[in-house]
Structure formats: C-alpha cells, structure tokens
Amino acid sequence: MPRQTTVQHTLKNGLTVLVEHLPAVRSAAVTLMVPGGACHEKPGKNGTSALLCELMMRGAGDLDSRALSMALDNLGIQHNLSPGWFHLNFSAATVATRLPDALRLIAEILLRPRLEPEQFAMCLEGREQVLRSIEDEPKQKLMIELRRRCYAPPWNRPVEGSLNQLRDITAEDMREHYRRCCVPEKAILGIAGYVEPERVVAQCEELFASWKGTLPATQESLEERETSGHIKHDSAQTHIGIAYPTVPIRHPDYYKAWACVSILSGGMSSRLFTKVREERGLCYAIGASMNSQRDRARVLCYAGTTNDRAQETLDVTLSELMNLAEDISPEELQRCKARAKSSLIMQQESTMARSSSLTRDWFHLDRLTTLEEIRGKVDALTVDDVRDFAVQHSARTFQVLTIGPEALRCEGQVNLSDL
C-alpha cells in the first residue's frame, strides 16, 4: 500500500482537524462530526437533531435554500447531513481541486445556517413522513426498537426521532439545540484525498477559528424504558431481533470481537447463513453486526421468517450464538481475514471511507490508526484468540425483541439497558 501522510491539528476552540494525503486518487472527501446528536436532545424532544439536519441544508449565510442547493451542485459536491447518537455527521466528496471552495461552503452551512421558521414546518412534515414509513417497514422498526431497549437513556434514543414526540418539538427547540450543541468542543473534521495537509489545515484555521462554544453535559435524566419482548403486528411474517454485549472499538480485544461476528455473519459461508438459512431453511434473511458506541457495544442480530417457523428460528439462532466457540476452524478465520484485507484495499481507494475512518478513530480511540496497523492486528489473530474471546464473551446474556402476530418463548434473556 502507498504510504499514508496524515496531519493532526487541534484549533484553540477545540475543533480537531485530521488531514490525510492519498497520492493515488484525484478526489477529496470531508467528514465533519459536530456534537448535537440524539443523546444531547432534551427529554421528550427526540427528533430535534434530525430536524436540525434537514433545516441546516435549507439555507446558509447569503444563500437561501435553492441557492445553497445550486452552489453544492455547481461544485459537484456529493453530500449528506444526518444525525448520529452523539454527533451530527456531515459528509461531502468532490474533485480535489474544488476542496477549498467546498470547505468554504461547508463552513457557511455549519456556522451560519439560516434556520428559517417558515422552513421548519416543511421539515417537520418531511420528518413525520420518514417516521411513518418506518412504521411500515417491520425490519427497520425492529432494529431501531432493539437498540432503544438494549441501551440505557440517553444513549438509546433513536437517531431518526420518535413519532410520539415529534409534534412537541418547536422551531425554537431546534434553534436552541443548535446554539447549545453545535460547538467546536468535541467536533472532529476529517479530510482525505489528493490534498496538501498543511495547506488544508491553514484554511481550516481561517474558516473555523472564530467558531465558539463549549459542549454542555449530556442530558442523562432517566426516561421511561420499555423492556417487553414483543410488538404485536398482524402479518404472515415474524421479525426477530437479538442483542448481546460485546466490547467497543476502543477495547484491546475489539478485533477478536470483530472476528467472532464475522464468523457468524460475514458472507454466504458464515455460520448463521449456512446453519439457520441454508441447511434448515428456517428463514429468508439472517445476519449479525457490531454496534459500538464509545464506551459500550452490542452485537445486533436479525432474522426474518414465517410465523410457523419463528420459534424454531429463534431457538436455533440462539444456539448458534451461544455455542460460537465450538469448532472454530482455521478456514473460518482465514475467510474473515481475507474479507478484512479486501475491505482495507477498497477503503484506501475511497476518499469518503478514509475521511470517515479518520473521524471515527479520533472519536473512539483518541488517536489515528493506519491501514498497516489494522492489517497487522487482523493478521495476528489466531483461532485460540478468537475461541477464548467467544468463551469469555458468550452470548448467554441477551435480549430478544420480536415483531409479529404472536410472542415467542424465550428463557434467560435480561434487560441489557441495565448493564
């Protein structure tokens, strides 16, 4: 792999700027993480951050909504602004020669959003349509609900918002959320591509040095928790969600945890796919993934099946999860490593992937990792390493949530939000 050149610089106001020169590309990408995600919302106002993301893109500085859209299009900027559990996440990509102009426009959006009251009603209607569409998608609703029930407040708030709280949010709530949370402290700006890091850092100093504000304490007042394991829905299908604890990205054993989930759900040769779907024909979809916050993490599993096979699907899936440590083979681990190396190669060729990795590393690890470091950690994994981790972090402490006509039998589950 070509050598990475990365520069890290923290402005006096607290904004961390990370710039990586990628000599083999001619594009540039920006990932900007700004505090203001769902965990900072005030109780009873879930959806404020999602509404803010929509309104910030409807005018900034001297540009109204249409003029801002045209300015982004004229620069060929592919962009997205979305809420996360801790941050608002702005991503953008364009050809490298247009990066200076793109950064100036991004600064306008961040520092001078219009947040016009007349635009708020349209954002509110659009957000309500998004949330109502989720109600019609049982799989998406299930996984949102599973995350909400397996993490404690405020870390469990849906980033999409909550339909029953949406109409309680006012335009002033959203503007107050912007003033309180969209601050440089804990903000991270990652830039990757065919760029000169020192020149980019100098421009960021010019654009963002005047940005002021400190992040308030997270709103940690306890909210009402729902722990019941079933949501009734008349359908010919049952959707099953399973969550159990694992280690977060910052943990020394993270790559062992990653290998365990990859063995379970890393392609068509993975255990859940072969043992539950292919050999038994129990379900039409099944998979597992890691969901890591900064200091806590869960493995989230999903299976979609018919009602008459739902109980067996749940039983067999739980058995596979709890007995993962049995018979882990060198071939399984080798397939995991091969997938990881392919992902690393593709990541090097994607400026968007690299800028996102820079900000993620800084948030979770307080430092940067190189692709060579990641590859070394993956290569160093042994079958004994992964087996020992699977034994020590068995999925015997789990939480199940289902959507369908009938609740399923499940013994031994606990409320993970208490952990």
Q: Provide the CATH number for the domain formed by 230-418 in this structure.
A: 3.30.830.10
pLDDT score of 216? 84
pLDDT score of 418? 78
pTM strictly above 0.85: yes
DSSP assignment, residue 174?
H
In this predicted structure, the answer to whether residue 159 has a pLDDT above a threshold of 60 is yes
pLDDT score of 238? 98
pLDDT score of 332? 95
β-sheet bridge partners, residue 27: 95
Mean pLDDT of 277-295: 96
Tens digit of each residue's pLDDT (9 = 90 or more) over 317-347: 999 999 999 999 999 999 999 999 898 888 8
pLDDT score of 221? 63
As a whole number of angstroms, the distance between CA 293 and CA 139 comes to 22
Tens digit of each residue's pLDDT (9 = 90 or more) over 376-393: 999 999 999 999 999 999
The pLDDT-based confidence of 226 (bands split at 50, 70, 90) is confident
In this predicted structure, the answer to whether residue 268 has a pLDDT above a threshold of 80 is yes
Tens digit of each residue's pLDDT (9 = 90 or more) over 163-202: 999 999 999 999 999 999 999 999 999 999 999 999 999 9
Of 413 and 401, the structure prediction assigns the larger pLDDT to: 401
Of 134, 156, 139, 69, nearest to 105 by C-alpha is: 69
Of 387, 378, 380, 370, nearest to 337 by C-alpha is: 378
In this predicted structure, the answer to whether residue 1 has a pLDDT above a threshold of 50 is no
Three state DSSP letters for 349-403: CCHHHHHHHHHHHHHHHCCCCCHHHHHHHHHHCCHHHHHHHHHHCCCCCCEEEEE
3-class secondary-structure state, position 131 = helix
The pLDDT-based confidence of 9 (bands split at 50, 70, 90) is very high
Do 5-208 and 230-418 agree at the fold level? yes
Tens digit of each residue's pLDDT (9 = 90 or more) over 14-54: 999 999 999 999 999 999 999 999 999 999 999 999 999 99
Of 324, 328, 274, nearest to 299 by C-alpha is: 324
As a whole number of angstroms, the distance between CA 189 and CA 70 comes to 24
Cβ contact 403:239 at 8 Å = yes
Type and span of the H or E element at 141: helix 138-150
Mean pLDDT of 72-90: 97
Beta strands of 234-347 (E only): which ranges? Answer: 237-246, 285-292, 297-306
As a whole number of angstroms, the distance between CA 189 and CA 32 comes to 4
The pLDDT-based confidence of 222 (bands split at 50, 70, 90) is low
Domain boundaries, given as residue ranges, for the chain = 5-208, 230-418
Mean pLDDT of 138-167: 95
Topology of 5-208 in CATH? Cytochrome Bc1 Complex; Chain A, domain 1 (3.30.830)
Report the half-sphere exposure of 280 (CA within 13 A, side-chain side). Answer: 20
